[in-house]
Amino acid sequence: MSDAKTYPPSDDMIANAHVNADAYEKMYQASLDDPDGFWAEQGKRVDWIKPFTQVKDVDFTLGNVKINWYADGQLNVSANCTDRHLETRGDQTAIIWEPDNPDDDTKHITYTQLHAETCKMANVLRSLGVGKGDRVVIYLPMIPEAAYAMLACARIGAIHSIVFAGFSPDALGARVNGCNAKVVITSDGAPRGGRVTNLKDNVNQALLNDFDEVKCLVVKHTDQQVAWRGDLDFWLHEELDKVSDDCPPETMDAEDPLFILYTSGSTGQPKGVVHTTGGYLVYAAMTHEITFDYHDGDIYWCTADVGWVTGHSYIVYGPLANGATTLMFEGVPTYPDASRFWQVCEKHKVTQFYTAPTAIRALMGQGKDFVTKCDLSSIKVLGTVGEPINPEAWNWYNEVVGGGTCPIVDTWWQTETGGHLMTPLPGAHAMKPGSAMKPFFGIQPVILEPTTAEVITENPAEGVLCIADSWPGQMRTVWGDHERFEKTYFADYPGYYFTGDGAKRDADADYWITGRVDDVINVSGHRMGTAEVESALVAHPKVAESAVVGYPHEIKGQGIYSYVTLMGGEEPSEELRKELEAWVRAEIGPIAKPDLIQWAPGLPKTRSGKIMRRILRKIAENDYGALGDTSTLADPSVVDDLIKNRMNR
Ligand code: WTA
């Protein structure tokens, strides 16, 4: 037994949950013994236009990687999220929309309305020339139109690529270019925490020079003035007036792409993760129902943004496929004050609440009165995602928000995995603060020794985390670059999907994610490649070289620590520091702004010129007693200078 304190589910939870401990064991074993039989059964969760006869067709061998699920089946995702609910729950609320400003009106959108809005938006997209297989970029605030736009694309077989509204025009332009999008859907403005960003301006900047074929469909949301790009721009409300609400869903193959979502990796620029139609939907729907123990009548709220995978799977596709009521929140946790999350929970009687550890830590710092003045008795299950949760934050979440009675599902997964891969289940597992606990059905985690790639079978174990076999929600490829897909995920540990994370398995065979083992950092639950920030910094004319690493940050989990070497003749100054911060914001977006910039006359390099990032990480972590061997450095003295001028003392 491990010595971690455990929190078993209540008798009530065990009695009412979809899956209790016995059922978990039986189902998990069945999912390994007979994957085809198990997933054929789960495939019935969605409606098929043409039923599948094949289930799994997978090869993880480098050079030959293929991942197919339900390959000969045909279906439409938007029909699964709207049409099929009309008869039984047409008048039920599908989406509750809560605006940034609490004084503005909440919206309740029924399944009947959601269906009509989706069909109309789909017809508008068709009228702009979008057809099956075409790409549409969505760059919207958290408004219902974001969900309509996703479902509208799915309805006509177009592939959406959502770009988080916090990304800069440059980052947006790169993503429009990356998938050769025909249309960008945006809004005039995007309010967040009382401040409005002019999204249409960002789109104009992104598209102005190189994209004179890309049309832009604009939602009127904030009523502010926007600049028009002649006849390439269209107001959504004007176009909606011209179309009918009848739009038969396109018949899609299970393996037709549903969406592309760019995410950061170890090297280079972000890559377009591709998810397909059938397997993704089955997996999103199943994990949504079972992980959150969703029952009819529940009010489910995931606080993520649709710009990230969590918003795709657990605000839109999973919940809507299940006919759930899903809450969509436009604002931020601290506006107008630190009570906002809890006021929204009280107002809508939220039953499942799913957020990120960074939000919990930020709110924890504001004191518990903001929470306790609200009635949170409706909440049954709490969830977290995005980064490891520290025990202090877990305990606060459990006691102050959950009143000590709500299971916390600590869901570990990735953009690449489409849905949860490891999590405790509310009625099945005695939770341990900070542990992602157990694999979901069909998931076979393995821990490997990092250098020898040997599988560690005994417990406890620690090493790199791989997955031994496929599951229906797994990404299929990198958009336009299958070789990069294979190299990134299947080359380092042959025969396995390599997650990029490290993990421990304790004496009870429970899993603990220890964080990324590559050059990806996790800032406020947002994933970022250090290489991206470095390339933004070196694009500045005064910067000669830069190296970026993560360091522990109390609220954000990790902060961005940048070492910058200036061009000869340039002098460090406060002004230049500010200029570089603003520069990175403009190149990528506010989430990439360096927290600390250290002027580095030299960087620690091997004699062959490779930067030794391990050393830079240790210095940033304030752990330079453990620098290890520096004798292979071309110039060991640079390390002394870096230590002397460390930023976060
Ligand atoms: C990290 C977000 C610990 C992990 C869904 C992973 C977590 C990366 C957890 C993926 C968790 C996510 N505990 N770490 N519960 N959830 N991570 O693609 O390092 O934005 O590889 O997907 O976040 O981030 P992504």
Distance CA 359, CA 334 (A): 9
Phi, psi of 598 (to 5 degrees): -105, 130
Q: What is the model's pLDDT at position 298?
A: 98
Whether the pLDDT of residue 225 is over 90: the answer is yes
Whether the pLDDT of residue 244 is over 80: the answer is yes
How much helix, strand and coil, in percent to the nearest 5, is found in the chain?
A: 35, 25, 40
Note whether ipTM > 0.90 here. yes
**Which residue lies with its CA nearest to atom 15 of ligand 1?**
412
Query: Is any ligand 1 atom within 6 A of the Cβ of residue 355?
Result: no
Distance CA 376, CA 379 (A): 6
Q: What is the model's pLDDT at position 235?
A: 98
Mutate to test the pocket of ligand 1, among 522, 524, 556 (most ligand atoms within 8 A of CB): 522
User: Which residue reads 């008869």 in tokens?
Assistant: 87
Nearest CA to 136 out of 242, 252, 270, 259 is that of: 259
Distance CA 87, CA 190 (A): 35
Report, as an integer, the average pLDDT of 638-642: 89
Query: Is any ligand 1 atom within 6 A of the Cβ of residue 435?
Result: no
Whether the pLDDT of residue 626 is over 80: the answer is no
Nearest CA to 187 out of 244, 135, 134, 149 is that of: 149
Distance CA 607, CA 503 (A): 33
Axis-axis angle for helices 637-644, 613-620 (nearest 10): 20
Count the alpha carbons within 13 Å of 397 in the hemisphere toward its beta carbon: 29
Query: Is any ligand 1 atom within 6 A of the Cβ of residue 287?
Result: no
Amino acid found at 107: K
Q: What is the pLDDT of residues 95-152, one digit of tens each?
A: 999 999 999 999 999 999 999 999 999 999 999 999 999 999 999 999 999 999 999 9
Element (H, E) at 286: helix 278-291
Distance 386 CA to ligand 1 centre (A): 4
Task: Decide: 501 and 513 in contact? Cβ < 8 Å.
Answer: yes
Which position has the higher pLDDT, 276 or 649?
Answer: 276
Element (H, E) at 587: helix 574-587
Q: What is the pLDDT of residues 348-390, one digit of tens each?
A: 999 999 999 999 999 999 999 999 999 999 999 999 999 999 9
Report, as an integer, the average pLDDT of 587-612: 91
Index of the ligand 1 atom closest to the CA of residue 310: 5
Region of residue 558 (left: phi > 0; alpha: psi -120 to 50; beta: else): beta
Task: Decide: 363 and 400 in contact? Cβ < 8 Å.
Answer: no
Q: H/E/C letters for each residue in 81-129?
A: HCHHHHHHHCCCEEEEEECCCCCCCCEEEEHHHHHHHHHHHHHHHHHCC
Pairing of strands 190-192, 74-75: unpaired
Q: What is the DSSP string of 230-253?
A: GGGEEEHHHHHTTS-S--PPPPEE
Q: 470 a known binding residue?
A: no
Percentage of the residues of the chain whose pLDDT score is greater than 90: 91
Nearest CA to 439 out of 73, 77, 10, 29 is that of: 29
Report, as an integer, the average pLDDT of 247-260: 98
Going by the DSSP 8-state scheme, the letter that residue 18 receives in this structure is S
Q: Which two tokens stand for residue 77?
A: 């995702």
Query: Is any ligand 1 atom within 6 A of the Cβ of residue 411?
Result: yes
Q: What is the model's pLDDT at position 1?
A: 58
With a CB cutoff of 8 Å and minimum separation 6, the contacts of 608 are: none
Query: Is any ligand 1 atom within 6 A of the Cβ of residue 415?
Result: yes
Report, as an integer, the average pLDDT of 515-540: 93
Index of the ligand 1 atom closest to the CA of residue 389: 13
Q: What is the DSSP string of 6-62?
A: -BPPPHHHHHHSSS-HHHHHHHHHHHHH-HHHHHHHHGGGS--SB--S--EEEE--T
Task: Decide: 608 and 565 in contact? Cβ < 8 Å.
Answer: no
Q: What is the pLDDT of residues 407-465, one digit of tens each?
A: 999 999 999 999 999 999 999 999 999 999 999 999 999 999 999 999 999 999 999 99
At 631, the pLDDT band (50, 70, 90 cuts) reads confident
Distance 440 CA to ligand 1 centre (A): 15
Distance CA 173, CA 163 (A): 10
With a CB cutoff of 8 Å and minimum separation 6, the contacts of 416 are: 263, 273, 474, 475, 489
Give pTM, 2 decimals. Answer: 0.96
Query: Is any ligand 1 atom within 6 A of the Cβ of residue 386?
Result: yes
At 303, the pLDDT band (50, 70, 90 cuts) reads very high
Q: What is the model's pLDDT at position 649?
A: 56
Distance 356 CA to ligand 1 centre (A): 10
Distance CA 403, CA 68 (A): 44
Pairing of strands 56-59, 66-69: antiparallel
Among 2-11, 384-393, 628-637, name the one with the lowest average pLDDT. Answer: 628-637
**Which residue lies with its CA nearest to atom 5 of ligand 1?**
414
- Give the chain's mean pLDDT: 96
Amino acid found at 250: E
Distance 515 CA to ligand 1 centre (A): 8
**Which residue lies with its CA nearest to atom 14 of ligand 1?**
387
Question: Rounded to the nearest 5 degrees, what angle is found at the Cα of 125, between the Cα atoms of 122 and 126?
Answer: 90
Q: Which two tokens stand for residue 496?
A: 């396995």
With a CB cutoff of 8 Å and minimum separation 6, the contacts of 55 are: 35, 36, 39, 40, 43, 69, 70
Q: What is the pLDDT of residues 47-103, one digit of tens each?
A: 999 999 999 999 999 999 999 999 999 999 999 999 999 999 999 999 999 999 999
**Which residue lies with its CA nearest to atom 24 of ligand 1?**
414
Q: What is the model's pLDDT at position 318?
A: 98
Task: Decide: 217 and 124 in contact? Cβ < 8 Å.
Answer: yes
Distance CA 443, CA 61 (A): 18
Percentage of the residues of the chain whose pLDDT score is greater than 70: 99
Distance CA 300, CA 311 (A): 13
Q: 414 a known binding residue?
A: yes
Distance CA 74, CA 611 (A): 50
Nearest CA to 236 out of 96, 114, 117 is that of: 117
Going by the DSSP 8-state scheme, the letter that residue 137 receives in this structure is E
User: Which residue reads 């006509």 in tokens?
Assistant: 156
Q: How far apart are the first and last CA of the chain?
A: 39
What's the Rg (C-alpha) of the chain? 24
Q: 97 a known binding residue?
A: no
Omega before residue 336 within 30° of 0, cis = yes
Tell me, rounded to whole angstroms, the distance of Cα 547 from its chain centroid. 25
User: Which residue reads 């916090």 in tokens?
Assistant: 166
Q: What is the model's pLDDT at position 612?
A: 87
With a CB cutoff of 8 Å and minimum separation 6, the contacts of 62 are: 486, 490, 491, 494
